[in-house]
Amino acid sequence: MYPASGFIPDDLGFTCSRFIADRICSRGGALNTRGIAIVSLLLAVAVILFHQTAKKAPSGEEASLTTSMNQPVAWNGRRAPDVTTELLSKETFSLSDHIGRKVVILNFFATWCGPCKAEMPELIRFAEKHKNDPLLFIGIDASEPESTVQDFIREQGFTYPVALDREGKVQKAFGVRSFPTTVVIGADGIVRLYEVGSISNADVAFDALLAPAFAAINAGAGITREER
Protein backbone atom coordinates (compact mmCIF):
# COMPACT_ATOMS: atom_id res chain seq x y z
CA MET A 1 0.00 0.00 0.00
CA TYR A 2 1.05 3.52 -0.65
CA PRO A 3 0.63 6.38 1.82
CA ALA A 4 -2.18 8.90 1.26
CA SER A 5 0.28 11.80 1.38
CA GLY A 6 0.57 11.88 -2.40
CA PHE A 7 4.18 10.63 -2.39
CA ILE A 8 4.99 8.49 -5.41
CA PRO A 9 7.82 6.00 -4.74
CA ASP A 10 10.83 5.74 -6.95
CA ASP A 11 10.27 2.05 -7.64
CA LEU A 12 7.36 2.99 -9.94
CA GLY A 13 9.81 4.65 -12.22
CA PHE A 14 8.20 8.04 -11.71
CA THR A 15 10.24 11.01 -12.84
CA CYS A 16 9.35 14.65 -13.23
CA SER A 17 10.45 16.77 -16.12
CA ARG A 18 11.77 20.19 -15.30
CA PHE A 19 8.42 21.73 -16.38
CA ILE A 20 6.35 19.40 -14.28
CA ALA A 21 8.74 19.60 -11.40
CA ASP A 22 8.48 23.36 -11.35
CA ARG A 23 4.70 23.41 -11.45
CA ILE A 24 3.40 20.16 -10.04
CA CYS A 25 6.02 18.16 -8.19
CA SER A 26 7.83 18.99 -5.04
CA ARG A 27 11.17 17.51 -4.16
CA GLY A 28 11.00 13.75 -3.78
CA GLY A 29 8.17 13.35 -6.25
CA ALA A 30 5.33 14.38 -3.95
CA LEU A 31 2.56 16.46 -5.48
CA ASN A 32 2.37 19.95 -4.07
CA THR A 33 -0.92 21.80 -3.50
CA ARG A 34 -0.66 23.80 -6.69
CA GLY A 35 0.11 20.66 -8.68
CA ILE A 36 -2.95 18.89 -7.35
CA ALA A 37 -5.10 21.86 -8.37
CA ILE A 38 -3.66 21.85 -11.91
CA VAL A 39 -4.18 18.10 -12.33
CA SER A 40 -7.77 18.38 -11.07
CA LEU A 41 -8.47 21.21 -13.53
CA LEU A 42 -7.04 19.24 -16.44
CA LEU A 43 -9.14 16.21 -15.53
CA ALA A 44 -12.28 18.34 -15.31
CA VAL A 45 -11.62 19.85 -18.75
CA ALA A 46 -11.02 16.38 -20.21
CA VAL A 47 -14.32 15.10 -18.82
CA ILE A 48 -16.23 18.08 -20.23
CA LEU A 49 -14.65 17.67 -23.66
CA PHE A 50 -15.44 13.95 -23.64
CA HIS A 51 -19.11 14.54 -22.91
CA GLN A 52 -19.39 17.26 -25.52
CA THR A 53 -17.91 15.09 -28.24
CA ALA A 54 -19.81 11.96 -27.16
CA LYS A 55 -23.18 13.68 -26.98
CA LYS A 56 -25.10 13.00 -30.17
CA ALA A 57 -27.61 15.34 -31.79
CA PRO A 58 -31.26 14.29 -31.38
CA SER A 59 -32.67 12.17 -34.19
CA GLY A 60 -35.49 13.46 -36.36
CA GLU A 61 -37.96 11.29 -34.45
CA GLU A 62 -36.74 12.58 -31.07
CA ALA A 63 -36.93 16.19 -32.24
CA SER A 64 -40.44 15.64 -33.61
CA LEU A 65 -41.55 14.07 -30.32
CA THR A 66 -40.21 17.03 -28.36
CA THR A 67 -42.04 19.45 -30.65
CA SER A 68 -45.28 17.49 -30.32
CA MET A 69 -45.04 17.56 -26.53
CA ASN A 70 -44.66 21.33 -26.63
CA GLN A 71 -47.65 21.91 -28.92
CA PRO A 72 -50.32 22.09 -26.18
CA VAL A 73 -48.44 24.93 -24.47
CA ALA A 74 -48.16 26.79 -27.77
CA TRP A 75 -51.83 26.38 -28.74
CA ASN A 76 -53.93 26.57 -25.59
CA GLY A 77 -55.53 30.02 -25.41
CA ARG A 78 -54.84 30.93 -29.04
CA ARG A 79 -57.52 31.85 -31.57
CA ALA A 80 -58.16 28.93 -33.87
CA PRO A 81 -57.28 29.49 -37.53
CA ASP A 82 -60.18 29.32 -39.96
CA VAL A 83 -59.99 26.15 -42.04
CA THR A 84 -62.07 24.67 -44.83
CA THR A 85 -62.04 21.06 -45.96
CA GLU A 86 -64.22 18.46 -47.65
CA LEU A 87 -66.14 15.84 -45.70
CA LEU A 88 -66.60 12.25 -46.85
CA SER A 89 -70.24 13.19 -47.44
CA LYS A 90 -68.94 15.64 -50.09
CA GLU A 91 -70.15 18.56 -48.00
CA THR A 92 -67.77 21.40 -47.16
CA PHE A 93 -66.78 22.08 -43.58
CA SER A 94 -65.66 25.61 -42.70
CA LEU A 95 -64.77 26.29 -39.09
CA SER A 96 -65.97 29.90 -39.28
CA ASP A 97 -69.51 28.70 -40.03
CA HIS A 98 -69.76 27.13 -36.58
CA ILE A 99 -67.74 29.34 -34.24
CA GLY A 100 -70.10 31.13 -31.85
CA ARG A 101 -72.86 28.62 -32.52
CA LYS A 102 -71.21 25.39 -31.44
CA VAL A 103 -68.22 24.02 -29.63
CA VAL A 104 -66.06 22.31 -32.25
CA ILE A 105 -63.88 19.29 -31.50
CA LEU A 106 -61.39 18.28 -34.17
CA ASN A 107 -59.85 14.83 -33.84
CA PHE A 108 -56.85 14.27 -36.11
CA PHE A 109 -56.30 10.57 -36.78
CA ALA A 110 -54.86 7.97 -39.15
CA THR A 111 -56.22 4.52 -39.94
CA TRP A 112 -52.80 2.93 -39.28
CA CYS A 113 -52.47 4.60 -35.86
CA GLY A 114 -52.91 2.17 -32.94
CA PRO A 115 -53.72 4.81 -30.29
CA CYS A 116 -56.25 6.36 -32.70
CA LYS A 117 -58.08 3.03 -32.96
CA ALA A 118 -57.94 2.61 -29.19
CA GLU A 119 -59.70 5.91 -28.49
CA MET A 120 -62.37 5.70 -31.24
CA PRO A 121 -65.05 3.84 -29.21
CA GLU A 122 -64.76 6.41 -26.43
CA LEU A 123 -64.95 9.38 -28.80
CA ILE A 124 -67.93 7.88 -30.64
CA ARG A 125 -69.70 7.29 -27.32
CA PHE A 126 -69.07 10.87 -26.24
CA ALA A 127 -70.25 12.35 -29.54
CA GLU A 128 -73.46 10.31 -29.32
CA LYS A 129 -74.00 11.42 -25.72
CA HIS A 130 -73.91 15.07 -26.80
CA LYS A 131 -75.64 14.82 -30.18
CA ASN A 132 -78.43 17.14 -29.00
CA ASP A 133 -76.03 19.72 -27.57
CA PRO A 134 -74.36 22.59 -29.46
CA LEU A 135 -71.32 20.42 -30.20
CA LEU A 136 -69.78 19.51 -33.54
CA PHE A 137 -67.34 16.61 -33.52
CA ILE A 138 -65.24 16.25 -36.69
CA GLY A 139 -62.69 13.57 -37.48
CA ILE A 140 -59.79 14.77 -39.67
CA ASP A 141 -58.02 11.97 -41.53
CA ALA A 142 -54.30 12.15 -42.29
CA SER A 143 -54.38 12.50 -46.09
CA GLU A 144 -55.18 8.84 -46.79
CA PRO A 145 -57.08 7.37 -49.77
CA GLU A 146 -60.83 7.83 -49.51
CA SER A 147 -61.53 4.10 -49.84
CA THR A 148 -59.18 3.36 -46.91
CA VAL A 149 -60.94 5.91 -44.72
CA GLN A 150 -64.40 4.69 -45.73
CA ASP A 151 -63.52 1.14 -44.74
CA PHE A 152 -62.09 2.36 -41.44
CA ILE A 153 -65.12 4.40 -40.37
CA ARG A 154 -67.47 1.53 -41.24
CA GLU A 155 -65.34 -0.82 -39.18
CA GLN A 156 -65.21 1.58 -36.24
CA GLY A 157 -68.89 2.58 -36.44
CA PHE A 158 -68.37 6.35 -36.76
CA THR A 159 -71.46 8.48 -36.13
CA TYR A 160 -69.83 11.91 -36.56
CA PRO A 161 -68.56 13.55 -39.77
CA VAL A 162 -65.10 12.79 -41.10
CA ALA A 163 -63.05 15.09 -43.30
CA LEU A 164 -60.36 14.16 -45.81
CA ASP A 165 -57.45 16.50 -45.31
CA ARG A 166 -56.12 15.59 -48.75
CA GLU A 167 -53.17 17.98 -48.81
CA GLY A 168 -52.61 18.19 -45.08
CA LYS A 169 -53.65 21.84 -44.95
CA VAL A 170 -55.79 21.50 -41.81
CA GLN A 171 -53.05 19.55 -40.03
CA LYS A 172 -50.53 22.23 -40.96
CA ALA A 173 -52.86 25.05 -39.86
CA PHE A 174 -53.13 23.49 -36.39
CA GLY A 175 -49.51 22.37 -36.17
CA VAL A 176 -50.39 18.68 -35.91
CA ARG A 177 -47.25 16.51 -35.90
CA SER A 178 -48.49 13.25 -34.41
CA PHE A 179 -51.68 11.20 -34.12
CA PRO A 180 -54.03 11.26 -32.46
CA THR A 181 -54.32 14.97 -31.70
CA THR A 182 -57.58 16.46 -30.45
CA VAL A 183 -58.41 20.18 -30.46
CA VAL A 184 -61.37 21.71 -28.60
CA ILE A 185 -62.45 25.14 -29.88
CA GLY A 186 -64.78 27.13 -27.66
CA ALA A 187 -67.76 29.31 -28.55
CA ASP A 188 -65.39 32.29 -28.63
CA GLY A 189 -63.13 30.70 -31.26
CA ILE A 190 -60.32 30.10 -28.77
CA VAL A 191 -58.48 26.78 -28.49
CA ARG A 192 -59.46 25.48 -25.05
CA LEU A 193 -57.72 22.11 -25.28
CA TYR A 194 -54.92 20.78 -27.46
CA GLU A 195 -54.40 17.16 -26.56
CA VAL A 196 -51.64 15.02 -28.09
CA GLY A 197 -52.21 11.32 -27.53
CA SER A 198 -55.08 8.91 -26.99
CA ILE A 199 -58.08 9.97 -24.87
CA SER A 200 -59.28 7.19 -22.59
CA ASN A 201 -62.04 9.12 -20.79
CA ALA A 202 -63.74 11.81 -22.86
CA ASP A 203 -65.96 12.94 -19.99
CA VAL A 204 -62.93 13.79 -17.89
CA ALA A 205 -61.12 15.38 -20.83
CA PHE A 206 -63.98 17.54 -22.15
CA ASP A 207 -66.88 18.07 -19.72
CA ALA A 208 -65.32 20.87 -17.66
CA LEU A 209 -64.68 22.80 -20.89
CA LEU A 210 -68.06 22.13 -22.50
CA ALA A 211 -70.39 23.13 -19.66
CA PRO A 212 -69.57 26.88 -19.63
CA ALA A 213 -69.35 26.95 -23.43
CA PHE A 214 -72.79 25.36 -23.81
CA ALA A 215 -74.19 27.86 -21.31
CA ALA A 216 -72.70 30.79 -23.25
CA ILE A 217 -74.08 29.54 -26.57
CA ASN A 218 -77.53 28.86 -25.15
CA ALA A 219 -77.54 32.37 -23.66
CA GLY A 220 -76.63 33.85 -27.04
CA ALA A 221 -73.22 34.94 -25.77
CA GLY A 222 -71.15 33.23 -28.49
CA ILE A 223 -69.21 35.53 -30.79
CA THR A 224 -70.88 36.66 -34.01
CA ARG A 225 -69.56 36.04 -37.50
CA GLU A 226 -68.41 39.66 -37.69
CA GLU A 227 -66.33 39.20 -34.55
CA ARG A 228 -64.54 36.09 -35.82
Tell whether 126 and 152 lie within a shared domain.
yes
For range 72-96, the mean pLDDT: 92
To the question of pTM greater than 0.95 for the whole model, the response is: no
Q: Find out whether 24 and 32 touch, Cβ atoms under 8 Å.
A: yes
Q: Find out whether 74 and 175 touch, Cβ atoms under 8 Å.
A: yes
The lowest-confidence range among 2-6, 86-90, 121-125, 191-195 is: 2-6
What is the domain range of residue 23? 10-54
Tens digit of each residue's pLDDT (9 = 90 or more) over 103-145: 999 999 999 999 999 999 999 999 999 999 999 999 999 889 9
Return d(Cα 82, Cα 45) in angstroms, integer.
Answer: 54
Q: Model confidence at 50, in pLDDT bands (50, 70, 90)?
A: low
Does the pLDDT of residue 34 top 90, yes or no?
no
For range 29-40, the mean pLDDT: 62
Q: Is residue 5 part of a domain?
A: no
What's the total number of domains in the chain?
2
